[in-house]
Structures are given as structure tokens and as C-alpha cells.
Amino acid sequence: MTLSTLVAAFWAMLPAYLPNNAAVLFGGGSPIDGGREWNGKRLLGDGKTWRGTAAGILVGTLTACGLNRVAAAVEGRTSWSLPRFPLRASVALAAGAMLGDIVGSFLKRRTGRTRGAMAPGLDQLDFVAGALALARLVAPNWFQKTFTRPTVAVVLVVTPLLHVGTNVGAYLLGLKDEPW
Ligand SMILES: CC(C)=CCC/C(C)=C/CC/C(C)=C/CC/C(C)=C/COC[C@@H](COP(=O)(O)O)OC/C=C(\C)CC/C=C(\C)CC/C=C(\C)CCC=C(C)C
Ligand SMILES: Nc1ccn([C@@H]2O[C@H](COP(=O)(O)OP(=O)(O)OP(=O)(O)O)[C@@H](O)[C@H]2O)c(=O)n1
Ligand SMILES: [Mg+2]
């Protein structure tokens, strides 16, 4: 795991990382499932809101646009490979992260976990699966160039660490009711 692969993986994943942070900061309001239940359990729960999802997609897409400008500004001055994000890849990473997180919540409700309950592994990787799957679907050539096997391996190892770290950080700052 070289530093260059670490940087490329983190860079490529930022448009999928920051949507989760944005949803924490700007989320709330009407739940996506409208309070609907299935077999006596909520479809998604109050933790998945329209505002949080929209904020996440917007912030993730804007993050990718900003990273493209940073990459252009430092081009030639760094040996690191800083991927550029086509618009459809940007939106796919951000929307896929939100969609993956929503599917994670759907599965958590089906297993009887209440909103905010811990689901180790699922909590840390549901949004990664959604982001990578949607990006691969809508921008296959870009995806293949950007998410090489080593990069995906780094993403799968490093993301849970970052996820736990930022959740604990947000909990300590009073931004989340639980540190996961
Ligand atoms: C990484 C380690 C070991 C320690 C990190 C400590 C740290 C960075 C604490 C910051 C906490 C904080 C206040 C962050 C601000 C954003 C925020 C409100 C985070 C809360 O979100 C937590 C969580 C929500 O996801 P969930 O709904 O699925 O539970 O976020 C999940 C984390 C990820 C999706 C992956 C990790 C995310 C990042 C590395 C992005 C963090 C980026 C920033 C804190 C801003 C820095 C910006 C750039 C461009 C580097
Ligand atoms: N699509 C989303 C995702 C997250 N959030 C906000 O971000 C917080 C943290 O997200 P997460 O940990 O994924 O939700 P939980 O509250 O833990 O709910 P669940 O058990 O369904 O994961 C949520 O409580 C909610 O306030 C939101 O509004 N909309
Ligand atoms: Mg949670």
C-alpha cells in the first residue's frame, strides 16, 4: 500500500465520503419513507430524510467539481495521480453513497434494529458499495481507470477506520447522538 495509492483512493472517494458528513450536518425534516412500515417495522426510519439526502448529493457533487479545480491547479507540481471527475461520475459517487446508506438503513430495519442502532461493517461500507456500484454503472471506463484493484482494496481497508474516526469526532462534538 503505497502513499500514492492511499492519496488516490482518498481523493477518489471524497465525493462519496463528504455526502455522509453533509447529511449529518444538514439532515433532518421529512423522512424519505414518510413514516411507512413493513411488517410492523419502519421501511427506513427517521434517520433518512429528503433534506439530508439532497444535501449529501449536492455536497458530494460540488466536492468533485472542487477537486477537479485543485487537480488542475497542481498539475505538474505533484507526482500523485489525482483523478479528475466527469460530472456523471461525480453525481454517481455522491448519489450512490446516499443510496447505499439508504439500503443499509432498509436492511437494518428488516433485522429489527431501531434507528441509530449499530450494524458493524454495514454502517461503514454500505455507502461505499452504493457509490462504487453506481459510478461503475454510469461511468464504466472512468471507473475502471480510477478504481483499480489496489485502490479498491485500500478503500475497503481505510474507509472503516475513517468512518469510525469521524463518527467519534462528530459524537464528541455533539453532532451525532451516537459515536457510530
Ligand atoms: C480519520 C480519523 C482516524 C480521525 C478523524 C477525526 C476527524 C476528522 C473528526 C472530524 C469530525 C467532524 C466534525 C467532521 C466534520 C464533518 C462531520 C459532521 C462528520 C460526521 O459524519 C460522520 C459520518 C456520518 O456517516 P454515517 O451517516 O454513515 O454514520 O461520516 C462518515 C465518514 C465517512 C463517510 C468516511 C470518512 C469521511 C472523511 C474522511 C471526510 C472527513 C472530512 C472532513 C472532516 C473535512 C475535511 C475535508 C477534506 C477535503 C479533507
Ligand atoms: N439520507 C440521510 C442520511 C443521514 N441523515 C442524517 O444523518 C444522521 C446520521 O446518519 P446515519 O448514521 O446513517 O443514520 P442513523 O440515525 O444512524 O439511522 P440508521 O440506523 O438508519 O442508520 C441521521 O440521523 C440523519 O439525521 C439524513 O438526514 N439523511
Ligand atoms: Mg448511524
Q: What ipTM was estimated for this complex?
A: 0.91
| Total domains present in the chain | 1
What CA–CA distance (Å, rounded) separates 144 from 131? Answer: 14
Comparing C-alpha atoms, which of 54, 69, 66, 68 is closest to residue 19? Answer: 54
Residue 144 lies in a domain: yes
DSSP alpha helix (H) spans, the chain? 3-26, 50-74, 87-110, 122-138, 140-146, 149-172
Is there a contact between 95 and 134 (Cβ–Cβ < 8 Å)?
A: yes
Residue 179 lies in a domain: no
Domain that holds residue 81: 3-172
- pLDDT computed for residue 80 by the predictor: 84
Mean pLDDT, residues 130-134 taken together: 98
Residue 178 lies in a domain: no
Residue 37 lies in a domain: yes
What CA–CA distance (Å, rounded) separates 171 from 149? Answer: 33
DSSP code, position 49: B
Spacing, Cα 150 to ligand 3 middle (Å): 28
Percent of the chain scoring above 90 in pLDDT: 93
Residue 113 lies in a domain: yes
The response to whether residue 119 sits with its C-beta less than 6 Å from ligand 1 reads no
Spacing, Cα 87 to ligand 1 middle (Å): 23
- pLDDT computed for residue 81 by the predictor: 81
Residue 79 clears pLDDT 90, i.e. is over it: no
Hunting for cell 457510530 — which residue is that? 180
Spacing, Cα 113 to ligand 1 middle (Å): 24
Residue 180 lies in a domain: no
